[in-house]
Amino acid sequence: MTARILLIEDNHQNRYLATFLLEAHGFQVIQADSGPQGLELAASHTPDAILLDIQLPGMDGYAVATALKNDPRLNPIPIIAVTSYAMAGDREKCFAAGAVGYIEKPINPDSFVEEILRFLPRKSTETPR
Ligand code: MN
Per-residue pLDDT of the chain (129 residues; tens, 9 = 90+): 689 999 999 999 999 999 999 999 999 999 999 999 999 999 999 999 999 999 999 999 999 999 999 999 999 999 999 988 666 788 889 999 999 999 999 999 999 999 999 988 766 445 555
Distance 97 CA to ligand 1 centre (A): 17
Distance 45 CA to ligand 1 centre (A): 22
Distance 123 CA to ligand 1 centre (A): 30
User: Is the pTM for the entire model greater than 0.85?
Assistant: yes
Distance 57 CA to ligand 1 centre (A): 7
Q: Does residue 30 contact residue 5 with C-beta atoms inside 8 Å? A: yes
Distance 53 CA to ligand 1 centre (A): 6
Rounded to whole angstroms, how far apart are CA atoms 73 and 44?
11
- Please report, in angstroms and rounded to a whole number, the separation of the first and last CA atoms in the chain: 22
Alpha helix (H) residue ranges in the chain: 12-24, 35-45, 61-70, 90-96, 112-119
pLDDT of residue 68: 98
> Phi first, then psi: what are they for 3, rounded to 5°?
-75, 135
pLDDT of residue 76: 96
Distance 33 CA to ligand 1 centre (A): 9
Rounded to whole angstroms, how far apart are CA atoms 81 and 100?
8
Distance 3 CA to ligand 1 centre (A): 24
Rounded to whole angstroms, how far apart are CA atoms 21 and 42?
21
Q: Does residue 49 contact residue 6 with C-beta atoms inside 8 Å? A: yes
pLDDT of residue 45: 97
Region of residue 5 (phi > 0: left; psi between -120 and 50: alpha; otherwise: beta): beta
Which DSSP state fits 38? Answer: H
Distance 54 CA to ligand 1 centre (A): 6
